[in-house]
Amino acid sequence: MKQIGLHQRRTRFVKEYLLEQNATKAAIAAGYSEKGASVAGSRLLADPKIREEINKNNEKLNKKLELSAERIKQEIARLCYYDPAAYFNDDGSAKAISEIDEDSRRAISGFEMAELFTGNGEERKAAGYIKKFKLPDKGRALELAARVQKLLVDRVEVTAGDELIKRLTAGRKRLSGK
């Protein structure tokens, strides 16, 4: 990142903020006192030159990582709609990772493989493998997808009866002296 015509600590703040995405931590790392870091971080984020530099760098990074709304939705969909059968052969054994389709591979959140042996010492022989696929929580993925599509919104609806509305209106009038 080039120098942006800012004081060195402010330039360092921008670099640290891009890593941490936390203004207080970035201010401390940039050399501001821990005691005043929260205020300094907020003040620095409000500075138009700093905000512009952060936005420019975030846009570059998003482009480089191909982070887009479309890509994020595609990855969420993979987590929602993977088919567990895609990981196994007809005989119930786990497929080789290269035999699993791309969408199912991308849904895997963890993978372990351990080799099994029989016998001891020189009689020890490889007996096979244990493969463990860790898959995401489909319920959580579907909840996330619903939020992205605005199908699920955390909302509390408050309804008031006519009598309560009249009382509140009368109270406001009394307070305003009308």
Task: Give percent above pLDDT 90 in the chain.
Answer: 33
What is the helix (H) or strand (E) element at residue 103, kind and residue range? helix 102-107
Chain-centroid distance of CA 103 in Å reads 19
Structural domains of the chain in order of their starting residue, each with its CATH number: 8-64 (1.10.10.1400), 68-178 (no CATH)
pTM assigned to the model: 0.50
* DSSP annotation string for 135-148: ---HHHHHHHHHHH
Residues 147-164 as b or e (16 or more Cβ within 10 Å = b): eeeeeeeeeeeeeeeeee
Please state the rounded mean pLDDT for residues 130-140: 88
